[in-house]
Amino acid sequence: MSTRVRPGTRQRTLDAVLLLAGILLGWTALGAWWGADILPSPWATVQTLAEIMAAPDFARNAWETLRAFLLALAIAFVVGVTLGMLLGAHRLAGDVFEPVLMALYSIPKISLYPVILLAFGLGLPAKVAFGVIHGVVPIAIFTIGAVRNIPRTYFRTAGMLRMSPWRLGWRVLMPAALPEIVAGLRIGFSLTLLGTLIGEMFASQYGLGQMLMHAIDRNQADDIMALSLLLFAFAVAASLVLLTLDQRLRRGLRHA
């Protein structure tokens, strides 16, 4: 088996290294220009992050955020994929309700905060609800597009085999639309995380979002940058994993 690195892979790695170096240099230069009170240096930010992670209450806050986020993402994924398959498989319904979804999604989510708080109160349900309303529509829209692009022969064959709607969705639509669904999940992942954090800022006593809100209230630039770096690293790592999965699924379909 050949172990040579492909030129495309080597170029992408070089681009990533150069991008990271550029970000660090720009960050350092801006920090020196504005001052550490406004923008701490990368090294100072990493040191602050290490101190935050070593604090006794960090594990509880991180777990609160992770639990709320994973629950919100699971709900957004199941609801988004199910809704997307239903609207994608029935073109008339999709043509009617897809613009409605887009219109609803264009509403600023923060305006729904009083309604969510009134319905769910402070705590986990409100954070989960805020995460779901951010992530469910992109997943549904990607799924609608994916199902519409499935060849109609798939539906005719399923009809000849007298498949139930459940078997049609699970055995036919889901495998055929999976690459596009994963692409939608990448977008929904980031937006669900954002929604969960915003929910924690306003509707929770615990969580990384609440820690970030406290740091903002106290104008603690070092804590703000450290927590932002942690959340950014988590989002980027998860996005890269989903991107790799998406690429492998697409290669598998091309070679099938």
pLDDT at 176 over 90: no
Domain containing residue 233: CATH number: 1.10.3720.10
Has residue 8 got a pLDDT over 80? no
Read off the pLDDT band of 1 (50, 70, 90): very low
- In this prediction, residues 223-247 reach a mean pLDDT of 87
- For residue 2, name the pLDDT band (cuts at 50, 70, 90): very low
Q: SS3 of 40, please?
A: coil
Q: pLDDT per residue over 188-208, tens digit each?
A: 999 999 999 988 888 778 899
Residue 134 within a domain? yes
Residue 78 has what pLDDT? 94
- Asked whether residue 9 is domain-assigned, the answer is no
Q: And the tokens for 198?
A: 């915003």
pLDDT tier, 67 (very low <50, low <70, confident <90, very high otherwise) = very high
Mean residue pLDDT of the chain comes to: 84
Residues in the chain: 256
Could you tell me if 220 and 178 are in contact, meaning their C-beta atoms sit under 8 angstroms apart?
Answer: no
Query: What pLDDT score was predicted for residue 169?
Result: 76
Instruction: Look at residue 155 in the predicted model and tell me its pLDDT.
Output: 76
How confident is the model over 213-238, as a mean pLDDT?
A: 90
pLDDT at 73 over 60: yes
Per-residue model confidence (pLDDT) at position 98: 86
201 inside domain: yes
pLDDT of residue 6: 58
Nearest Cα residue to 176 out of 197, 153, 204: 153
Tens digits of residue pLDDT in 37-65: 788 888 888 999 999 999 999 999 999 99
The residue range of the domain holding 231 is 60-255
In a domain, 24, yes or no: no
Question: Has residue 209 been placed in a domain?
Answer: yes
Structure-model confidence comparison of residues 255 and 180, the more confident one: 180
Residue 252 confidence (pLDDT): 64
**Residues in CB range of 68: below 8 A, 6 or more apart:** 124, 127, 128, 131, 196, 199, 200, 204, 207
- Could you tell me if residue 97 is inside a domain? yes
Report, as an integer, the average pLDDT of 15-41: 82
Residue 214 lies in a domain: yes
The answer to which of 22-31, 154-163, 206-215 has the lowest mean pLDDT is 154-163
Greater confidence (133 vs 203) lies with: 133
Q: Is the pLDDT of residue 93 over 50?
A: yes
Q: What percent of the chain has pLDDT over 70?
A: 94
Contact 179, 253 (CB under 8 A): yes
Number of domains in the chain: 1
| 13 band by pLDDT with thresholds 50, 70 and 90 | confident
Q: Is residue 44 part of a domain?
A: no
The residues near 194 (Cβ < 8 Å, ≥ 6 apart) are 134
